[in-house]
Chains A and B, each alone.
Chain A
Amino acid sequence: MIGLDVGSTTAKKVSIEDGKIKYQITGTHNWKDLIAGIDGKDIISTGYFRNTVPHRASVTEITAAIYGVRHYFPDADVIVDIGGQDTKVIDVRKNNFIINDKCSAGTGAFLEFVANYFKIELTEMGSYHGRAKRIPAINNTCGVFALSEMISQLVAGYTQEEVIAGMHYAFARRISFMIPEAESLVLIGGTVKNKGMVSALSYILKKEVLVPDEPQIVNALGALKYYS
């Protein structure tokens, strides 16, 4: 049995073999590679395309996130899942959730804009952030307008590293409006591999945030756990 999370930008497969979590991640367009030789009746799907891909059972990303996070942090109060196209905030205590997908400012797509502008990989943005000496204020919460504000800060003399850090803060501030008070806050989703973004959010919320070792596969794992 596998958990399969086919999201808007990446597809993830998780299985548990001899008690160990095995996983594979690829681009959404290559999702079929993940299930080569696997029968649909052995797949528990989740993610945006959960009902499109072969599956024995499907579950929404919200429920999958709760089950997946429970594996790493059984006492999590609030889960923030930052996906490529939307951000979900799940209040586990109240069995409640909100999703932001009206605009890109609080989603992975926003940081992708920034990485594309500087022609760097998304995975490099955390180390750029770490080298920043100052943090410019980027106030605009619209992804496109923030980009033009970012260019203004570059012209004003801030370095590329500093502007990237400023964008992480703008991003984190946007998400922080959605997050309720919590004892234990867990971040998941591919975007949270970016340490700069995580530290900006931790700073704005004035609290430690928990991140699983492989935050991108939590929903695929959760789908599997939900069914087993």
Chain B
Amino acid sequence: MPVQKKIAITALVPPELIYACGDETFDVNNVIPESKKYPRNKLCAWTAIWQEMLSKREINIDSLIVVAGGDCHNALVDGQKVAMSGIPTHFFFYPFDGSAEYLESQLLKLRDFLGGIKSPEKPGEIRELKDLGLEIDKKRAQGKLSSSDAFRILISFSDLAGDLDKFRETISSVRETDIEINNRIALIGVPPIYHDFHDVSQSLGLHVVFDELPYEFIRHSGTDIHQIARDYCNYTFARPLDFRIKFLQKELQKRKVDGVVHYTQFACHHMLEDDIMRSNLDYPMLTIQGDLPGNTPEQIKLRLEAFREALERS
């Protein structure tokens, strides 16, 4: 039986393909909110920390897939540093214009890097899990799940926690509850670097009913490369802003949100989008900025609390 390799990803890479190639997916971002690292040379802490941990072999992986087009230049440079440290690295590019043909060619190159398809049934299994994810997302918006429980599951869909069977068990262990939602919040941008952010928001009276990026993790799928290319080509973070904004407008309306929290990461290019989001999304909006991982800092809590008071005044 071939040995399953641990394939790390730096942003969303269709896990359907990685599992189909017989490998395990590992999203390097998932260890960062709990890490205590202070990277030496950093712009964005997300990429700087995974770069340092991978280069120093503090995380054991077999290969790395860097999302170089559709993510940021920080990832492109930090990915090259990891490659230079000796880890086999592949650079993956999403199309800006949404070309399914281009994405298919990228997926074919990735398939070759991973050594070819060995488990063609895996994408179908992943689709079933993603249907459960969509159900979790829906229940959360109805107040049947806490936003932190839902977030913990949804964020793990980028790599399906490395094991489809175990992840299925984790999903089924989530307990339903009954929450009265007063302030329905959409959290847009990259996920906060603070591991307790959803709990803190909820304790301050803000119930996150939409997590932008994790929603991308569950809404795309496909059972073969042709289909995967035609679905993932609409991954909003890789597309022009007007495409993403139209998508957000629809989702926010559907979820009847009262306000938007735009999380921005220090030295991340998404910071530059804040004024565009503010002028195009017609909701009260709070912008917060994080830098290093850890607990949600007091100054961020003040902003969240003041935002809740503002929503209750309006």
Q: In the complex, how many angstroms separate the beta carbon of A191 from the nearest chain B beta carbon?
A: 18
B306–A96 touching, CB < 8 Å: no
User: Which 3 residue pairs of A and B lie closest in terms of their CB atoms, listed nearest first?
Assistant: A62-B306, A60-B306, A63-B309
B303–A63 touching, CB < 8 Å: no
**From A60, A96, A98, contact of B302 by CB (8 A):** A60
Q: In the complex, how many angstroms separate the beta carbon of B218 from the nearest chain A beta carbon?
A: 32
Q: In the complex, how many angstroms separate the beta carbon of B261 from the nearest chain A beta carbon?
A: 13
The distance in angstroms between the C-alpha atoms of A101 and B285, with both chains bound, is: 19
**From A48, A95, A99, A102, contact of B303 by CB (8 A):** A99
CB pairs A–B below 8 angstroms (19 shown): A48-B298, A48-B302, A60-B305, A60-B306, A60-B309, A61-B306, A62-B309, A63-B306, A63-B309, A63-B310, A63-B313, A95-B310, A95-B313, A96-B285, A97-B306, A98-B287, A99-B303, A101-B299, A102-B289
Answer whether residue A82 sits at the interface, using C-beta atoms and an 8 A cutoff. Answer: no
**From A95, A97, A98, A101, contact of B314 by CB (8 A):** A95
Name the A residues within 8 Å of B70 (CB-CB).
none
Answer whether residue B284 sits at the interface, using C-beta atoms and an 8 A cutoff. Answer: yes
Main secondary structure of the interface of B (DSSP, over half): helix
The distance in angstroms between the C-alpha atoms of A62 and B248, with both chains bound, is: 29
A85-102 vs B, CB cutoff 8 Å, 1 = contact: the mask equals 010000000011111011
Q: In the complex, how many angstroms separate the beta carbon of B160 from the nearest chain A beta carbon?
A: 37
**From B289, B298, B310, contact of A97 by CB (8 A):** B310
Name the A residues within 8 Å of B310 (CB-CB).
62-63, 95-97
The distance in angstroms between the C-alpha atoms of A66 and B143, with both chains bound, is: 32
| A interface residues, tally (CB under 8 Å) | 14
Which B residues from 264 to 314 make CB contacts under 8 A with A?
284-285, 287, 289, 298-299, 302-303, 305-306, 309-310, 313-314
The distance in angstroms between the C-alpha atoms of A62 and B306, with both chains bound, is: 6
A95–B284 touching, CB < 8 Å: yes
- Please list the residues of chain A having a beta carbon within 8 angstroms of any beta carbon in chain B: 48, 59-63, 86, 95-99, 101-102
B190-230 vs A, CB cutoff 8 Å, 1 = contact: the mask equals 00000000000000000000000000000000000000000
Q: Which of B287, B305, B314 has the most CB of A within 10 A?
A: B305
The distance in angstroms between the C-alpha atoms of A60 and B312, with both chains bound, is: 13
Nearest A residue (CB) for B285: A96
The distance in angstroms between the C-alpha atoms of A61 and B287, with both chains bound, is: 18
Name the B residues within 8 Å of A48 (CB-CB).
298, 302
B299–A59 touching, CB < 8 Å: no
The distance in angstroms between the C-alpha atoms of A60 and B305, with both chains bound, is: 7
The distance in angstroms between the C-alpha atoms of A60 and B310, with both chains bound, is: 10
Q: A59-B309, A61-B302 are in contact. List 9 more A-B contacts (CB 8 A).
A: A60-B305, A63-B310, A63-B313, A86-B299, A95-B314, A96-B284, A96-B310, A97-B310, A99-B303
A99–B302 touching, CB < 8 Å: yes
The distance in angstroms between the C-alpha atoms of A96 and B286, with both chains bound, is: 8
The distance in angstroms between the C-alpha atoms of A86 and B314, with both chains bound, is: 25
Q: In the complex, how many angstroms separate the beta carbon of B40 from the nearest chain A beta carbon?
A: 21
Q: In the complex, how many angstroms separate the beta carbon of B278 from the nearest chain A beta carbon?
A: 9
The distance in angstroms between the C-alpha atoms of A129 and B314, with both chains bound, is: 42
Name the A residues within 8 Å of B287 (CB-CB).
98
Nearest B residue (CB) for A65: B306
Nearest A residue (CB) for B278: A96
The distance in angstroms between the C-alpha atoms of A100 and B305, with both chains bound, is: 16
The distance in angstroms between the C-alpha atoms of A98 and B299, with both chains bound, is: 12
Name the A residues within 8 Å of B303 (CB-CB).
99
The distance in angstroms between the C-alpha atoms of A97 and B285, with both chains bound, is: 10
Name the B residues within 8 Å of A59 (CB-CB).
309
Q: In the complex, how many angstroms separate the beta carbon of A91 from the nearest chain B beta carbon?
A: 10
The distance in angstroms between the C-alpha atoms of A60 and B205, with both chains bound, is: 14
Q: In the complex, how many angstroms separate the beta carbon of A185 from the nearest chain B beta carbon?
A: 19
Name the A residues within 8 Å of B284 (CB-CB).
95-96
Nearest A residue (CB) for B303: A99
Name the B residues within 8 Å of A98 (CB-CB).
287
